[in-house]
Chain A
């Protein structure tokens, strides 16, 4: 069941991406050569043929290392196959498509949905084949979800009753089957579920001076407040800063000192970190807290 939920969540996301950006003519997700989810416009056969062609490339790609991204440019459009959280996301777009917009949609939404589903359904990461959702009207989908929930509830009650009966029987037999709790153990999530670190986009400003530590950036008070509200007692001592070119670094952070600089959406950055990120003042970077 969990796999169905996984596929359903991804399929819905793919459909939404297409609704938001009609220039995306087709998109689907696959993993280990198997189709996981596809939007309503993508035929299963088309996706399967594409996966086979992609696999043919990756099989011969030892000289460049494991394939992370393929972009095929044609006169009429573009195909992009990008890896995200061990999945491969294929996006087909027309030549009119706004590349940045499509990338923002796909490369942010899909990883978030994958992570969310993994957190909600940790058992779904097994290697079973995930059935592909057939396109169906929203009302039916809702009904189906309700049915699944009801079925699950019934199954749980039945299982609980069965296990009670078994326990009663087991009292008269040797206690061998009591290995069960060990199997259940991995499903118990000891760590509390933390929200996904929020990604904030800020403009780089120079931070200089004699007593300025070179490994610390200064972030807006409001942003830090928001992080503290989200994570409460969890300690945040570092942030991950990513430049538009994809370069990332982790560094310490402090609140911006001058009140005139607060609320402006800026991040004050020493030259050393700017060099690491290959960015300069005035450019955009994304910042997210590293929660311990």
Chain B
């Protein structure tokens, strides 16, 4: 534990937990890296949009912004139910889920606590996207 002085308009003593700061910084950095990767992927052929979220922040870029809630609920359900299925067969943590629908498909992942869902057209190259986003 270290005491740091923060120079503001009024001088205040702030007690800071260095481990917590390190964790948050690392988490933020991973989030930023993923966000950058997703922004590039979003420009790719057949990519409809993506959702990236962790416990503190979220980035959403979708072709149909009016359907954000539907996409978000689906994304969350897909990851939760997939983990349930994996648990049934004692396969451990889910690294990725690909759900192919009649119209589009979704690739969902959990990377270091960051939940990602990428939505794309049926003929988009999901394997290539997975490769690009994986650490």
Contacts and interface: CB of A to CB of B under 8 A. Distances in A.
A281 B75 CA distance: 40
Contact of B81 (A25, A54, A92): A54
A73 B127 CA distance: 12
Given A49-B88, A63-B70, A72 B94 contact: yes
A156 to B, nearest CB: 43
A74 B77 CA distance: 17
Contact of A63 (B84, B97, B100, B104): B104
Interface string B66-84: 0100110110011011101
A49 B84 contact: yes
A74 B93 contact: yes
A68 B101 contact: yes
Nearest to B91: A74
A57 B100 CA distance: 11
B78 A57 contact: yes
Nearest to B73: A60
Given A56-B77, A74-B92, A76-B91, A64 B99 contact: yes
Contacts of B82: 53, 57, 70, 72
Contacts of A73: 94-98
A25 B84 CA distance: 17
A66 B84 CA distance: 21
A157 interface: no
Contact of A65 (B77, B92, B103): B103
A86 B73 CA distance: 26
A152 to B, nearest CB: 38
A283 to B, nearest CB: 17
A79 interface: yes
**Chief secondary structure at chain A's binding surface:** mixed
**Chief secondary structure at chain B's binding surface:** mixed
A69 interface: yes
B93 A70 contact: no
B4 interface: no
Given A66-B102, A75-B95, A54 B85 contact: yes
A50 interface: yes
B60 to A, nearest CB: 14
A141 B76 CA distance: 44
Given A60-B74, A61-B99, A75 B93 contact: yes
A57 B77 contact: yes
Interface in B28-84: 67, 70-71, 73-74, 77-78, 80-82, 84
Interface of A: 25-26, 46, 49-50, 53-54, 56-57, 59-79, 92
User: 7 closest Cβ contacts across the A-B interface?
Assistant: A64-B101, A65-B103, A65-B102, A65-B101, A53-B81, A74-B91, A69-B100
19 contacts: A49-B88, A53-B82, A56-B77, A56-B81, A57-B77, A57-B78, A60-B74, A64-B105, A64-B119, A65-B104, A67-B101, A68-B100, A69-B98, A70-B97, A73-B97, A74-B86, A77-B91, A78-B91, A79-B85
